[in-house]
Chain A
């Protein structure tokens, strides 16, 4: 029976529509995964050297042991965002005479077969057997590596429970924030040294099997916790929970000044906050507002050729939502595109509404980025210039490219590693988007100076804004011209 369930799982993944319909994307993702794991392996092989470079004259083992806690904090974060919950297919099995326990063991077991489970193994195995085994013997290396692996796997089971229990709830967000603060507070602010506090545990792990045993017990407990939680909640209402209607009547008043396009912008805003995928995009743009802190404070970027990077950062900060959301321009409405087609001026106003929404969010991002003035007035100018360029030129460019063979997608699935609606166009469009601002900026920045480049960007942006109606009409006509192809591709099964 278990074998039969496993066989079904295989069939399911090979026959999933996403896989079958875009083999290219599947191959690309597979390639990407192998490449990333390859990088990890290389990083693992050179870990000793890397540590020696970073902390000269110190014992690499000590340095690593006091840094490990940060690895796990990062692991917590990426697991939170990437790890998927294995519950969707339950509905088709629950009424059959297969015991729930078996189904749950199978689902949980399957979730474990993921590249995330071997990251720690790949990264730390070379170090364990080159560094630790020479000083503490092979048994020390095994105890140490085993401890790390079991911590990583405990996180896996913990996250399955945590996400099912708290995802989309305030407590979940608060806990994630606490983990972030723990890491940042310790690493950047120097409030306390988390690494030193936890290092003795890993030091102990090299000489004794006790930490390994502790983590093994914790890992089993984590599995059991996830298992019993899922078992007790194997009901349709808990798994495919109907979302409570939230944010009722939360219209953005200012949109209503723009007539029907404004109404549709309001609808689009509701679409964004009521679907998981778009909510994640919104959250990401909030996070990316902090992107500048990496660069703006860093002396390496302040002058010379590296300062051209700032344009890129500015485009991202003020336009990330535009770029991400605009990429899948019409796919967001794929489920009910016919609704707009069957209304007078529906498509025209849909596109205008989307313009309005994207511009508003971009403006909001610009306003929120004003505090970067703290690092210097220069950054306000950068953000102003890139915002103008985004609003005048980039938005039309993104939408133009996104209208090349749009594909349908399901908004209720998560956003991470979900490539529904993504086709070759979405991959290729990154290139012109990266290049376009520099085409305007670089000549002026090279011949004159940085500020001349910014002025050029801003001016071109303003010109774009002045000709907004002309430029947006190009895109609107493109949708109208291709409406039959677009709507028939949206009616396909996902």
Chain B
């Protein structure tokens, strides 16, 4: 029986097996991510209606020019940025605090992990539906806030007021995803060797100084990962805003790019214009990811 042999050295052999293992995910990525991106880029150069059987008309960059001149699109950019900044920064900070809190527990650690993580397993649609009931003027949110603040009968207009509805969407998203990022931070925190803390304690370092000068620097790769993931997640937000507007909330304050894109494609059937929006959103996401990598510089930490 003839044995199959690799040509070249060990390194080359390893590389070939590497290619074999990543091949399925490469195929998957090409079909479901890379091809749609290229297709959207191509479609964005045409005037194309979803239902029309007529061939699409090539209009060069007109869709992009239209969008850059459209006040509605700029409002969507504003809504997306406000939501992203208002959600991802607190999410990164609080998930780190929660992770530190859980790691420092000697008892009930598993319970807290489960409690924080459980909202992340719910579908976004279910989450938005639950929160719609909570934010109903007669719902729990008004009752709770009025009880705490001793302001009976005040309607805080969680879904009605332009500022409040933005805060409401941030709250929902924060509640849903903070547990997910907490778990990632817990993994990062537990991977820091205890011996470093022990050595520092012998040198007289207290808990607070240890957190600032040992934990935070050594947690840098995890922090970068979490902040990029959280930011991208926030830029892509859709279902909360969609369901809130279906539930009667005003659209303008929370008309994020993805919601505008959806309405342009599905309600107005303008798939060329919607594709242009998706490409702009893609570029924004790409830019911020690059910026975070650039500002973080080195993401490698050695213990």
A, B in one complex: no
